[in-house]
Amino acid sequence: MNDIARRTFVATGLAAAASATAAASRKAGQPAQRGFQLAYAPPLGMFRASGGGDVIGELEFIADQGFRAFEDNNMTRRSVEEQEAIARAAERLGLRMGVFVANFGTAFGKKSFVTGDPEMLENFLADLRGSVEVAKRVNAKWTTIVLGDLEPRLEMDYQTANAIDMLRRGAEVYEPHGLVMVMEPLNPFANHPGMFLSGGPQAYMLCRAVNSPACKILFDIYHQQITEGNLIANIDRCWSEIGYFQIGDNPGRREPGTGEINYLNVFKHIAGKGYEGILGMEHGKSRGGEAGEQAVIEAYRACDAFSL
Angle (CA) 286 289 292, round 5°: 35
Collect all residues with Cβ–Cβ distance below 8 Å to 301 and sequence separation of at least 6: 36
In a domain, 3, yes or no: no
Collect all residues with Cβ–Cβ distance below 8 Å to 286 and sequence separation of at least 6: 252, 254, 255, 258, 292, 295
The mean pLDDT value for 199-212 works out to 98
In a domain, 162, yes or no: yes
The range of the structural domain enclosing residue 47 comes to 28-303
In a domain, 281, yes or no: yes
In a domain, 2, yes or no: no
In a domain, 166, yes or no: yes
37-72: per-residue pLDDT in tens?
999 999 999 999 999 999 999 999 999 999 999 999
In a domain, 22, yes or no: no
User: Looking at residue 226, what is its pLDDT?
Assistant: 98
Band of residue 31 on the pLDDT scale cut at 50, 70, 90: low
In a domain, 138, yes or no: yes
* Identity of the amino acid at 231: L
260-290: per-residue pLDDT in tens?
999 999 999 999 999 999 999 999 999 999 9
pLDDT reading at 25 higher than 60:
no
240-260: per-residue pLDDT in tens?
999 999 999 999 999 999 999
Give the CATH number, domain containing residue 112: 3.20.20.150
Question: Which of residues 210 and 4 earns the better pLDDT score?
Answer: 210
Main-chain phi, psi angles of 23, to 5 degrees:
-65, -40
User: How high is the mean pLDDT of the chain?
Assistant: 92
Integer Cα distance of 217 and 227 in angstroms: 15
Which stretch of DSSP H or E encloses residue 97? strand 96-97
The mean pLDDT value for 103-128 works out to 98
Whether residue 284 contacts residue 292, with contact meaning beta carbons closer than 8 Å, is answered with: no
Band of residue 34 on the pLDDT scale cut at 50, 70, 90: confident
In a domain, 250, yes or no: yes
Integer Cα distance of 183 and 100 in angstroms: 12
289-307: per-residue pLDDT in tens?
999 999 999 999 999 999 9
pLDDT reading at 109 higher than 60:
yes
User: Looking at residue 32, what is its pLDDT?
Assistant: 58
User: Looking at residue 95, what is its pLDDT?
Assistant: 98
Band of residue 2 on the pLDDT scale cut at 50, 70, 90: very low
Please count the structural domains in the chain.
Answer: 1
User: Looking at residue 64, what is its pLDDT?
Assistant: 98
